[in-house]
Structure 1
């Protein structure tokens, strides 16, 4: 078993509960961890024997460019839906983290992050 990780993908989005979040927009960061057998790809050196992380990155970019959500939980769930639809037959599971930096609440903090994981088999 192996893992493919794509870390700190950055996307400018118009997500959020408050109207000003949807008007002004904000940057979200996304991490994805895909768990799957990688032994064959390691031996064949063929992208067809693994999951193309370039394709996964493109799918996430398309999702965040074409949809708006109130909650980052919904963002993570939609990303997992897309990953499952495209690669669920190959993957054991996937984990998604979504970070939001411009959170309209009092206090001193770096970001708010949610994490969701889904098993496919």
Structure 2
């Protein structure tokens, strides 16, 4: 199967499943093995990868903004590629529901001043 310039071995896609398995927010060997075991899918979409500290909504989510985080994801992608798989990164920013406790002192960033609906189990500002 061909999608654009990408040749895929089959039509099976693995969708993003954010698993919260990265202590220190760095992809690790457990994650590399998880994705390697699924490399027979035509394409793997990674779990959500926060692009900046204020983009994080949950603990133990592997980012991709520091050298150690990039190296962690390199280990994951190498494991997938060595098993014959293909993987795309799902870049992620949780917006209004980001957790200030996980982002240092930064407040959530969102496209409007509307409060998030429903129960949010963290302290969050309603407006900036």
The structure with the largest helix share of the pair is 1
Q: Same fold (TM over 0.5)?
A: no
The structure with the largest strand share of the pair is 1
Q: TM-score, normalised by structure 1?
A: 0.33
Q: TM-score, normalised by structure 2?
A: 0.32
- Higher-Rg member (1/2): 2
